[in-house]
Amino acid sequence: MNALQQDIAQLIIDTLNLEDLQPSDIPPEQPLFGQGLGLDSVDALELALALQKRYEIQIASDSRDARQHFATVASLATFVEAQRAACAN
């Protein structure tokens, strides 16, 4: 797990109040929603808000790719890096 992935896993735990979980309990490739960690649509909204605040990025609510970006910690990390690069330009 790289530093950004670790950071995002911790953000998920803090934002969604997942008591008793450590970042290492959320493997980067584990699905966050449904069968995996078990997050739901309200969590997705909450998480989007937290990511925007934390990384100063924009997440379009109508983004078609949102589902893929939010699939796992790894995909979120890739997405955050891409958005940061885009916002920096």
- Residues forming the site for other proteins (CB under 8 A): 16-21, 38, 42, 45-46, 49, 52-53
**Closer Cβ to other proteins, 28 or 36, answer by number:** 36
**Closer Cβ to other proteins, 43 or 79, answer by number:** 43
Strand locations in 16-87, DSSP E? Answer: none
| Nearest in space to 27 (alpha carbons), one of 62, 67, 77, 87 | 77
In b/e form, how buried is each residue of 30-58, taking b as 16+ CB within 10 angstroms? ebbbeeebebeeebeebbbebbeeebebe
Q: How far is the CB of 88 from other proteins (least distance, A)?
A: 22
Q: How far is the CB of 21 from other proteins (least distance, A)?
A: 8
**Closer Cβ to other proteins, 62 or 89, answer by number:** 62
Q: How far is the CB of 70 from other proteins (least distance, A)?
A: 14
